[in-house]
Amino acid sequence: MAEQASPLVTFYKLGWENHHQALVKTIAQLSAEQLANNLVAAHYISIGELLAHMIAARITWFCGWMGEGKAAREQWHEVQSRTDPAELIAIFEKTWQVISSAMDRWTSTDLEQLILPPASHQAWLRAKGLEEEPPHTRQWIIWHVLEHEIHHGGELSLALGTHGLDDFYTW
């Protein structure tokens, strides 16, 4: 008998999907000029750069580490210079499909699987004189990416409010 998807994945997915939809709705209301606004001060990154950073985390962990959605990974280089909200939304949606599809398939056993860091990541760390990254379970990676999005969603909300725009709201 085939193992069912993990209840933990189901729990993560429903909340994360709500967060994702709120993020997409927020981006849809922004102009290219608003994406260029700095987060909270002139020396911080822009709202668009923050969104690109969030996409990069999805791609790095789900595609690079866990081998999901190779097509989404190939588009990463395109997103770094995007200032069109519609293009950012398209890439967020594509990465969400990767995440959603994976979470629909993964079982409790899959969540326990240890994932080795990509060799390119380890080489990059060594070149910087940093300690290599240990393997992580899928469950750890899911939570890590989700908490990353929650954290940066808060930054996004603060930045939008600072610029007099509607904040990022997930309810």
Domain boundaries, the chain: 7-162
Please compute the mean of the pLDDT values over residues 71-84 and round it to a whole number. Answer: 62
Mean pLDDT lowest among 14-23, 62-71, 77-86, 101-110:
77-86
Contact (Cβ atoms closer than 8 angstroms) between residue 63 and residue 35: no
Angle at 117 between CA 129 and CA 60, to 5 degrees: 95
Which range of 32-41, 47-56, 127-136 scores highest in mean pLDDT? It is 127-136
pTM above 0.85, yes or no: yes
Report the pLDDT value the prediction gives residue 12, as an integer from 0 to 100. Answer: 77
Tokens 């379970």 belong to: 137
* 119 pLDDT higher than 90: yes
Q: Which residue has the higher pLDDT, 69 or 140?
A: 140
- Select the CATH number that applies to the domain covering 7-162 from these four: 3.90.320.10, 1.20.120.450, 2.40.40.20, 1.10.10.10: 1.20.120.450
What residue spans of 59-116 are helical by DSSP H?
Answer: 70-74, 76-79, 85-105, 108-112
Contact (Cβ atoms closer than 8 angstroms) between residue 52 and residue 80: yes
